[in-house]
Structure 1
Amino acid sequence: MDALNGNEVLLTEQNKELVQQLLDLDQSHLFLSWPPPGEKDNEKQQLLEQLQHLDQNYTGGLATYIKNAKQLLEDSRSGKNAFEGFVPSVPKGKKLDFGSEEFKEFEELGVAASKEAAFVLVAGGLGERLGYKGIKVALPTELASEKCFLQVYIESIRALQAKAGGSAQLPLAIMTSGDTHARTEALLQDNAYFGMQPGQVTLLKQEKVACLSDGEAHLALDANNPFAVQTKPHGHGDVHALLHSSGLLKRWVAAGVRWVAFFQDTNALVFRGIPAALGVSARYGYDMNSLAVPRKAKEAIGGIASLQRPDGGHLTINVEYNLLDPLLRANGWADGDVNDASGYSPFPGNINQLVLKADSYAAALEETEGIIAEFVNPKYKDDSRTAFKSSTRLECMMQDFPHGLPPTAAVGFTVVWAAYSPVKNSPDDARAKAAGGNPSHSATSGEVDIYRTNCAALRMAGARIEGPEPREFNGLSVDLWPRVSWSPFFALTFSDLEAKIDAASVRLSKDAVLVINGAGVRIKSLDLDGTLVIDAAPGAEVVLDGLKAQNRGWKWQALNPNKEMTEEQAMRGFKVCRKGETALKLEYPTEGKYVYPEKADAGKEGVKTERAAVA
């Protein structure tokens, strides 16, 4: 241990074993700057403790991590294709037309299956990339209701729980990180778990992995602290190892869970597709089912493909868009990835929302210990592919789980166009994406897509919806539809919407704002030109019949860059002007039966009326 400059006297037996492993793996640089014993001993201990922590939180320890890194970095340097020798073909799955009779059939199958489902939210990220100092799940999904992502997700699960019936409480696991764990816990506690029982929710904290400074897999020291190793997240693939190592998945299976649905932190539309995807999984017995979206050929989103392995086995898995086209061309597809007669690629777009069959999932994790195939993506300084622009690390993605399934596993997909509009890009990045012909996936698009999808559903049901109005926010051209937002308790599925609204008797002007909270709301007739907010407590049955409302309403106004704005407004490029405007707000805080506006028979037994509060 000459590299320690006499500091081996500071090592415990446990430290000695780990340090010797690191020295044997050419990591002596970690200790070369250490002064003699007696100088900066506390800092040395901090590094040793960090190395022990990194060793304990990676399956196989740091030695395995470094060995894996050396192999993957060599593959990267040589340009090895991870899918070399694989033969692609069009995968098998279900493409559903949102709102169709077939879609509604699978939604209802999924509702029935959900009584034996558990849910996993991957939420390890902060909102810094969006210009937000908090955790992403605390962001409002849209500014009409101002409900945050976590509230919408939990209310969706609670609505499924209520629809499915039975006494079971559907469990939710949330994968957090060191950056988000305490704040996620506080968000839940401060809001009484948004109506869930605390025992329904389990937080699983993801640890970080060591960064690598070069192609020889040397661990990267912090540029400002020679007694600390740089660390970064390992990727959302860690969720599988956490579910396994915590024993949570085993407990779920023992309790009768048959399906596990995974979703990401800032995709408010995901529950427009999860019930149908559960239904598809239940009908076809899929061990893994990827919720997907229609994808244009060569679009910058991974495509789901069926691959024949060199050994003859088959694998259905996501292939990144930059690998898919050359893989197809190398295997006889002369034009590579092209659109078919539907106008879309036959390889649907992966969106990292999954439904797994719980028993086969648990069995696979027993075999693999939750280890997901890793990759490395260094940014090289030049074509020699030796030096990095900045440190890198090994990563893993949860959608690569099929690598751990047996060849006999049934793997498919469910396409639902209405189930995806993530919020992940800053305004600057969003403009660049849009300029390149790609979806902006910003807070701006995330909000307007909620309104677009809700208005599309109402139109399909037969309502008269005016608009959209072309607008520009944060340099992005968007179609702004009437601002329609409803809680999952009002309508989680398309059939719910049809049952709650007599759509043929509903008209919304292009400036209409309609916000509905409450399971007991029913709209028989509505003509809205302005803003209407309905808040109905559990047990309040509210019927809107013959309501024609016209008011100045709320306005979605582009921001003035010279005036103050909140982070939530800045990332969208607009604010909602409520002050000084009129809106019709109907509040029903107690159980009962209500009709609005008042009818001649309102005094009949069992029917109550309540006047609106005008704000």
Structure 2
Amino acid sequence: MIAATTSNLSIQTPKHGQTGSATFQQIKERYQAAGQGHLLSYYDDLSAEEQSHLLQQLQDLNVERVNRIHQKATTCPSPMLNNQAALLAPLPEECFDSILEASSEKSQEWQTIGLNQIAQNKVGVILLAGGQGTRLGSSAPKGCYDISLPSSKSLFQIQAERILKLQRLAQQQPDAVANVTIPWYVMTSGPTRPATVAFFQENNYFGLSSENIVFFEQGTLPCLTFDGKIMMESKSQIAVAPDGNGGVYAALRGSGVLANMAERKIEYLHAYCVDNCLVRVADPVFIGYCVQKNADCGAKVVRKNAPDEPVGVVCLRNSAFNVVEYSEIDADVAHAINPKNGQLSFGAGNIANHFYTVDFLNKVESFEGDLEYHIARKKIKSLDFQTGEVVAPKQVNGMKLEMFVFDVFPFTERMAVFEVDRREEFSPLKNAPGSGQDCPETSRRDILQQHVRFIESVGGKVVVGEDDKQVYGAPSLEISPLVSYSGEGLAEIVAGKSIKTPITIHTLEELRSSVF
């Protein structure tokens, strides 16, 4: 197993008074020049080991970069502050297509293109899995969460099995290589890394080869006061926070993942967030669409339910592709209708589901300095430099700076936006059990309802048994991804036949023996 890692603050233990090639005095002068000399205020109070620990952090931290990021984030005005309607434009027709409007022939064409790329081992997957399940009442990484499916599968297992099934489908392509593999690049955060790796090991990598699962860490940035001073969580430890899901680009480069992709001759990547239980991992239709469009970057979107639905929209801002938050869109603009199709002109709801060429990912470094950082104002437990005590504030006292994964969109040369069916591909897990929206119960419901549609769409009938305790109106019918990735392969077994719930189908043989 490859286990790459990246961090802006890699901690080592050098000799006292010296860290790497820099002496204490050199570090002190560098930080004083940067206006961050306060970080050494309690240096003399520390043990030799703690001093070394602190000095190594300061040596490794690019403090000048932190200052530049803070300066840009706090002084560059939002382009949405004035004249909103003039700055926004709908997506150009030539870069947008919808699976909801496409013919079955066109969909099949895209799928064939995508499967052929997978069959040539040209496709990899990036999983953004740094989040913890805190809001779900769990301290484990969110991917470990069990949404109470009949099979009790975690989000990680569901997604791993989709990769396994897709590898098998691609293996059937006429020109497939001898061993079709889809490398899975799993980005964790520092706190979730050990538990994520352990969960994969305990579950035998869910049937995938450990050699094709690459773990790497999201980067961090120091927490800052509102005047740009770096905060500390103790006298010897800088306070840091993850740099947002947009930190994936620097993490891919710094951890050696891009080099791994080059070694494997990967050309295309599918990237997604762990909390979408319906995600079609390495979706061959999406891959095929973007490849046919010769896109360097692509985004899956869903059609907004209403003009005021609180979701970011993929559109043009200042003539460049971007995601504009719903709160930034004027009401008149949000309600505008495209006369050609009667749909919202700004209705491409962002779901953080992307396509990239490896060439594009390698180019990110060249424009990284122009990317936008966003301010998240937080209550941050930190060291009070006047008293030397660690204080847990009752009010917001600082900021965390983060980048979003879509912040690279303005720098694409060939963007492709692909609208998919929300019912089939998007069910986020954000909220606590029992909240009624984007929660474990709705995730479970959406998967089970999809599996009912799998049966009914090919002419089968689902009979709800008396002992089926339906949740949110979803019959208890679960079909393993190892049986069907997106509904394929079921028609010859269930067409014209019935299946009774509750039932969990693990294999095609179980399905054959269950229909009547």
Q: TM-score, normalised by structure 2?
A: 0.81
CA distance in 2, matches of 1:246, 1:472: 47
CA distance in 2, matches of 1:504, 1:298: 42
CA distance in 2, matches of 1:245, 1:42: 27
Matched, 1:260 2:266: no
- Residue matched to 2:445: 448
Aligned AA (1:490): V
Offset, 1:466: 5.9
Aligned AA (2:309): E
CA distance in 2, matches of 1:15, 1:487: 58
2:309 to 299, 302, 310: 299
- Residue matched to 1:539: none
CA distance in 1, matches of 2:161, 2:83: 40
Write out aligned runs for 1:352-431 (5 A). 352-362=352-362, 364-368=363-367, 372-378=371-377, 389-405=396-412, 408-417=413-422, 418-427=424-433, 430=435
Aligned AA (1:355): F
Change (3 A) 1:132 1:322: same
CA distance in 1, matches of 2:405, 2:299: 11
CA distance in 1, matches of 2:410, 2:83: 12
CA distance in 2, matches of 1:402, 1:77: 16
Structure of greater Rg: 1
- Residue matched to 2:513: 544
- Residue matched to 1:132: 138
Matched, 1:493 2:493: no
Deviates more, 1:155-164 or 1:240-249: 240-249
| Equivalent position SS for 2:399 | coil
CA distances 1:263-299 after superposition (whole Å, capped 9, x unpaired): 1112121018823211211222221111121113121
CA distances 1:414-465 after superposition (whole Å, capped 9, x unpaired): 323211111122247x45xxxxxxxx21111111111122223333322334
Aligned AA (1:449): D
Aligned AA (1:181): R
- Residue matched to 1:95: 98
Matched, 1:277 2:281: no
2:460 to 448, 459, 463: 463
Matched, 1:210 2:222: yes
Asked if the contact 2:125/2:183 (under 8 Å) is kept, the reply is: yes
CA RMSD in angstroms comes to 3.5
CA distance in 1, matches of 2:188, 2:343: 39
CA distance in 2, matches of 1:149, 1:427: 15
Change (3 A) 1:366 1:84: farther
Aligned AA (2:353): Q
Asked if the contact 1:372/1:404 (under 8 Å) is kept, the reply is: no
CA distance in 2, matches of 1:393, 1:76: 18
CA distances 1:499-524 after superposition (whole Å, capped 9, x unpaired): 5x33332254xxx2221112x43xxx
Offset, 1:306: 2.4
Matched, 1:188 2:200: yes
Change (3 A) 1:123 1:272: closer
CA distance in 2, matches of 1:366, 1:393: 22
Offset, 1:14: 4.3
Offset, 1:235: 0.8
- Residue matched to 1:484: 477
| Equivalent position SS for 1:504 | coil
CA distance in 2, matches of 1:279, 1:217: 45
CA distances 1:177-234 after superposition (whole Å, capped 9, x unpaired): 11111111112222221122221111112232110122x1111222xx3433221111
Matched, 1:516 2:485: no
CA distance in 1, matches of 2:282, 2:52: 50
Matched, 1:177 2:189: yes
Segments of 5+ residues of structure 1 without an aligned counterpart are 1-8, 56-60, 381-386, 432-439, 522-533, 535-541, 548-615
Change (3 A) 1:272 1:201: closer
Q: TM-score, normalised by structure 1?
A: 0.69
Asked if the contact 1:286/1:412 (under 8 Å) is kept, the reply is: no
Asked if the contact 2:459/2:491 (under 8 Å) is kept, the reply is: no
Identity of aligned residues (%): 22
Asked if the contact 1:372/1:398 (under 8 Å) is kept, the reply is: no
Offset, 1:372: 4.6
CA distance in 1, matches of 2:322, 2:71: 25
Aligned AA (1:261): H
- Residue matched to 1:350: 350
Change (3 A) 1:76 1:368: closer
Offset, 1:342: 5.2
Give aligned pairs, total: 470
Asked if the contact 2:148/2:444 (under 8 Å) is kept, the reply is: yes
Structure number with the higher strand fraction is 1
Change (3 A) 1:161 1:81: farther
Offset, 1:373: 3.0
CA distance in 2, matches of 1:396, 1:368: 14
Aligned AA (1:220): M
CA distance in 2, matches of 1:17, 1:86: 47
